[in-house]
Structures are given as structure tokens and as C-alpha cells.
Amino acid sequence: MAAAFGLLRLSPKDFWSMTPRELERAISVLRPGAERPPARADLAALMRRFPDANSLEKRHG
């Protein structure tokens, strides 16, 4: 709410009529250079490098 009212200067009416997705997109312009979510290959590499200690395979394998 602070970002919406203070930084974006939205009116209460505009704020409460926005969807969460619309609000996220409006606030995203305040974070230049923000990272995008990791690509599937990057996530798979991280999962191989840092496996969960309590994965189902380990519990049932």
C-alpha cells in the first residue's frame, strides 16, 4: 500500500479496483533491472546442485 499510495500516487479508488497482477506490474517499474524468474534449465541445475535433504526419493528409496 505504501508503494501504491506513496510512490505510484494511486487514489484509494484506483488502488482497490486493481487486480494483484495489475498492481505487481505497476510496482515492477519501480524495480529497474529486477531479475526474471530462472529459466527451467537454470532451475534444474540448481536442483541438482542443491538437492533437498528430505526428498521423496531419499525417504522411499
Closest Cα partner for 29 from 3, 56, 11?
3
| Per-domain residue ranges of the chain | 2-51
pLDDT digits 0-9 by tens, 1-40: 888 899 899 999 999 999 999 998 898 888 776 667 778 9
Q: Which residue has the higher pLDDT, 44 or 29?
A: 44
pLDDT at 34: 64
pLDDT at 23: 92
pLDDT at 28: 84
CA atoms within 13 A on the CB side of 9: 0
Mean pLDDT of 49-55: 82
Report how far apart, in Å, the C-alpha atoms of 3 and of each of 6, 7, 9, 23, 24 are. Answer: 5, 5, 8, 10, 10
